[in-house]
Amino acid sequence: MAQSNEDPKSLVSTQWLFDHLEDPDLRILDASWFLPNAGRDGAAEFVQSHIPNARFFDIDEISDHRSELPHMAPPAEKFISRVRALGVGDGHQVVVYDALGIFSAPRVWWNFRLMGKENIAVLDGGLPKWRTEGRPLTAEPPLIRDRHITVQRQAHLVKDVTQVANVAKLQSAQIIDARPADRFHGFAPEPRPGLRSGHIPNSKNVPWNSVLETNGTMKSVKMLKSVFEDAGVDLKQPLITSCGSGVSAAILSLALYRMGHHDHALYDASWAEWGMYADLSVTKG
């Protein structure tokens, strides 16, 4: 079933957030994160300016540091401890945003869903839209109180390399790659050194920015459906999203959720893993 424009489980507008800023059970997270070659620091920018009462969710720190791969989903225990330290707990409605519009915030939305927490939405248009509209910003840190949180990991929402390799071979699900077309086709190098160029065999390319309007908001459900279908994606099949390192794949996951596809999976390590191993097949062109 298609979602309404305001859906506290997927996407809310800047007006919705403004109207609910003083709600006692609202928690706002700034999840700003940038590609390695961007030369920007989300945490430093947060200190300078953020939406009132927002807390900074560090995607790289709140991750599985047992893995050499970047920002893999954290173990449940680490997720609980870090989220509690941010004052987020059971019964809270969470809104997450980032400094690029819709880029890294969906990754945190997906992380919460992976842990069984559904009451989280991405801010449509993110910080740029909020700032353009002249809405309040502050440099003041929020008052944080610890809040109990319970989680239940939803294993079906994430896939590992073995599962994805089997899917690619058997074509038992559609793999959708969110990277820009030139990286998907192998015409441009990866931003992370040491990775091969190309894509997972039998995968489809839906660049992450193709599901967004030019102002950084997400396209309508009708337009989203056209974007995926035009890319050759069969929306009736099981779906797995992928990208460079599991961040922009979550943008496609959010778009799929908006279209009513709630149980698709995300390949957490994505090309940061697949592109590293010579024994995994790569397609170019």
CA distance 20 to 22: 6
The verdict on whether 243 is a catalytic residue reads yes
What is the DSSP code string of 36-50?
A: TTS---HHHHHHH-B
Q: Which residue has the tokens 């047992």?
A: 66
Catalytic residue among 17, 105, 175, 243: 243
DSSP string, the chain: -PPPS-BTTTEE-HHHHHHHTT-TTEEEEE-----TTS---HHHHHHH-BSTTEEE--TTTSS-TTSSSTTPPPPHHHHHHHHHHTT--TT-EEEEE-TTSSSSHHHHHHHHHHTT---EEEETTHHHHHHHTT---B-PPPP-----------GGGEE-HHHHHHHHHHT-SEEEE-S-HHHHTTSS--SSTT---SB-TT-EE--GGGGB-TTSPBPPHHHHHHHHHHTT--TTS-EEEE-SSSSTHHHHHHHHHHTT--S-EEESSHHHHHTT-TTS--B--
Which residues have a catalytic role annotated?
A: 243
